[in-house]
Structure 1
């Protein structure tokens, strides 16, 4: 190798670093989603980096990604905490999801060649059913199902918009705890979507998704209200 030439081995370090960052990101996101790290928990960099056995620089990259997803918020001094989702935000997030996903459903229904899309949706449903009993896997499968619906619409702007709120969607779904989230993510609540797509019933699909999102948001809000009442008492 000539002097000053860049060694191909240098890239190996960045791969390891990226993998470590991704592992930290996945571990913290799971802890937030499951409630292991409760809303409002302050994430002290020194303590967290020591607990995870990683450098503060690598940790910051993972924390920055979680903040961009909406799972963490920063105070005036830049200190990060697990996002506290309000009842109003839950309602708003599910309303936005209804707008995006009902449009996705309409676009799929409008296609004559929608059979492959319906088959993909049914595959995602089977993944969701298989994940029941494993909260983290079920949460990932639930969000993947709804993301796939947007992807199959063929509208890249719609898909980008959904992905931009997916972190907030995760926070909203888990805002009332794992038990409530599991009820909302049940296979039975999602299965009719595939049948509506297969029938090309865009009107019925929009109304189904409206009820689907409204009921989920209401269940979360009621549980949050109950928890607040218990804490106050």
Structure 2
């Protein structure tokens, strides 16, 4: 039976946060895939890694595997920050900074939890703090609620998110060049031939003398 220590608790929290980050990455994958296939592949890759890492680190909480998770999540956080400051260096939107959306912010927060908790779990066993069963369960339950609170809105927002397009009146919307122009005044209708004008001095066609 494993002791209920803070290092073990940190490992479990890191795994929960990794599941949360991976779930959000999966939710936003279709949107990125439609934009650029290699971007979709990247998101599938990082999502699967985070989900698999969570399971493996619980089963085999070894320092080497934990270190790999720390490095991968740090790299993901740095890439997210760079893409918001300078944009990615390739693809259809190369060099264009991406918007700071809810899914990205929440994913980065969860990845920060992974890094912090995983780092804490690497502490020497002799320095670990032992929890009572009650305290351990309360801490674990609170951590689970926190992770779900971050993951749920990220997943929902990621699934609902769509880039502006012609059907949404966004940046890609253009009016057909053959669209009828706004109403213009109708051209003046020629008036029927009017009879010769008269003058106050005589009959039509009046002239002086013959």
Give the TM-score taking structure 1 as reference length.
0.23
Which has more helix, going by share of residues?
1
In our comparison, the structure showing a higher alpha carbon Rg is: 2
Give the TM-score taking structure 2 as reference length.
0.25
